[in-house]
Amino acid sequence: MFSNGKKRILDNPLIQRYRYSSLRPLQFWIYTIIYITIIILILFINYTSYRYRSHFGDPADFFESIYFQFLIFQVLILWIWAAFNSGSALTDEIYNKSYDFFRMLPLPAYQKAIGILIGRNLLALLFAGINCLFQLFLGLSGKVNFVLQVQIFLALVSIAVLANSAALLTSTNTPQKKKSPNIIVPILIGFFFLPPLLGTLAGLSQTNDLEKVCAGFFTLQVPIFLLITSIALYFSLWAFKGITRKFNRERETLFTRKGAFIFMLGYEIVTLGLFYPHLSEEIMITYLFWLASLIPVILVLFGSLRSQDNYIEYSRSIHGRSETVKSMMSSLLPYSNLTVGLGLFAIWTLFSAGTIIATGEDLLSNLYPAFVLFSFYLFFLLMVELYALYNSPNNKTGLLIGFIILLQIIVPPILSGIMRNDTIYLYSPFGYFFSIIEAPDRSFAIETSVLVLNLVLCIIPAKLIWQRYRLILIARQKM
């Protein structure tokens, strides 16, 4: 059964296609020489240090140190190199003018995704497999706990699956006409995140009984590597589902309305599970949960953003059920991006209120800051809807809207610093949020002024959105 399943995977036409291109003798031997050279350098440097510098107390320490160095090597291969390969697959198809062939390939979407994720990374997977054998030998020779080795392996693979799936998913939204310098992205990621990551991995060798280190998830204590594995696999499933949706419905949004709400609920539950054991420590932890769970509200909103063309298409279906603009408007509003955005914020508010109740804090006094945050979010939501309704390739509406949002974020802190008035700082969404964390006791009058100003700012975009809705429906009536 397993051999048949393996055969079916390898029979994937995309894997066969990438196999011929990536395993060409010249290219294969170039990468192989580089790989062997790196292995020799790792072993030679460590042996020299062991032989002449006495950095290791005994052979077991020597093998343990090399084990974690190979772990870092695995991270570079599976998280950086492989993710870059997956993320650049569609861009290369467009650049090589074979993207139309890829789209018409008679394969289910999930097989296309598997074909890219495996086929583009045949060399990376080959070298990673060899590294696994090295690690197994080094781990046993270095007396690294076998349970710890299994946990590290599962976390390594699950994060690699998430990184590759996310990289491929992001590439489905950028069908470019020419090849872009995507190599800049992994370089920037490596520059900012690799040093602390390497420091963390290096510190693993200094921690005793690491396989027994647990992290809280609600009331459970779960080994930290198994918790990381579970969360990474959960979001990998969402990323893979997003890839198949974009392959099947290229012009549709990443999230359906139902999918957006379900994803947001799942994210809130996972995040709450991680924060729950620490909520009772201090109120700041609660506000940090608010921040961590508010960011995906914005990201999911963009992932489910419908364009003006979607509105026009939907108006055709409601025109048959309704005759007047008023009755059609009552059907259009639930379909709009505004409804999705408000629903996402309602989910965030529900969980935020739950954290306040769980910690025994006063609910009403803490919900008022959430209401002020909603006024910031409402203005942002209206500006995003303006972008969806008015932006087109022939105008710069999106640039103007982005500039207005940026002004609201950066102008108050600048004026606050110039005028040395901390109150002005609160009129920026980030300034207000960080004031909640830094100074929970704020003036009610000042908070109310922030709320009123944001609601006043919402009037003009709300009016423009309403006019565009009416224009779409009136145009549909005349067809």
Residue at 430 is within a domain: yes
pLDDT of 2 strictly over 50: no
pLDDT of 52 strictly over 80: no
Q: What is the pLDDT of residues 409-454, one digit of tens each?
A: 999 999 988 888 888 988 999 888 888 877 666 678 888 999 999 9
Q: Are 102 and 17 a contacting pair, CB within 8 Å?
A: no
- Helices 122-141 and 146-171, axial angle in degrees (round to 10): 160
Claim to verify: residue 232 and residue 272 sit in the same structural domain: no
Mean pLDDT confidence for 257-267: 95
Claim to verify: residue 141 and residue 214 sit in the same structural domain: yes
Structural domain including 389 reads 258-478
Lowest mean pLDDT among 156-170, 230-244, 282-296, 333-347: 282-296
Residue at 253 is within a domain: no
Claim to verify: residue 300 and residue 237 sit in the same structural domain: no
**Ranges of H-type helices in 391-428:** 397-419
Residue at 235 is within a domain: yes
Q: Are 447 and 368 a contacting pair, CB within 8 Å?
A: yes
Claim to verify: residue 292 and residue 237 sit in the same structural domain: no
Residue at 178 is within a domain: yes
For residue 321, what pLDDT is reported?
63
Band of residue 377 on the pLDDT scale cut at 50, 70, 90: very high
How many domains is the chain partitioned into structurally?
2
Q: How far apart, in whole angstroms, are the C-alpha atoms of residue 142 and residue 128?
A: 20
Q: What's the full length of the chain, in residues?
A: 479
Claim to verify: residue 200 and residue 62 sit in the same structural domain: yes
Q: Are 314 and 331 a contacting pair, CB within 8 Å?
A: no
Q: What's the one-letter identity of residue 360?
A: G
Claim to verify: residue 159 and residue 305 sit in the same structural domain: no
Claim to verify: residue 294 and residue 227 sit in the same structural domain: no
For residue 238, what pLDDT is reported?
96
Claim to verify: residue 368 and residue 340 sit in the same structural domain: yes
Q: How far apart, in whole angstroms, are the C-alpha atoms of residue 427 and residue 432?
A: 6
Mean pLDDT confidence for 218-237: 94
pLDDT of 475 strictly over 90: no
Between 312 and 174, the higher pLDDT residue? 312
pLDDT of 187 strictly over 90: no
Residue at 252 is within a domain: no
Q: What is the pLDDT of residues 11-38, one digit of tens each?
A: 788 888 888 888 888 889 999 999 999 9
- What percent of the chain is modeled with pLDDT above 90? 47
Mean pLDDT across the chain: 85
pLDDT of 381 strictly over 70: yes
Q: Are 87 and 168 a contacting pair, CB within 8 Å?
A: yes
Claim to verify: residue 240 and residue 279 sit in the same structural domain: no
Mean pLDDT confidence for 326-354: 91
Claim to verify: residue 155 and residue 276 sit in the same structural domain: no
Claim to verify: residue 203 and residue 154 sit in the same structural domain: yes
| The domain boundary residue, chosen from 181, 213, 247 | 247
| The domain boundary residue, chosen from 247, 269, 291 | 247
Claim to verify: residue 346 and residue 458 sit in the same structural domain: yes
**Ranges of H-type helices in 205-307:** 224-248, 257-275, 283-303
| The domain boundary residue, chosen from 197, 213, 247 | 247
H-helix or E-strand containing 281? Answer: none
Residue at 128 is within a domain: yes
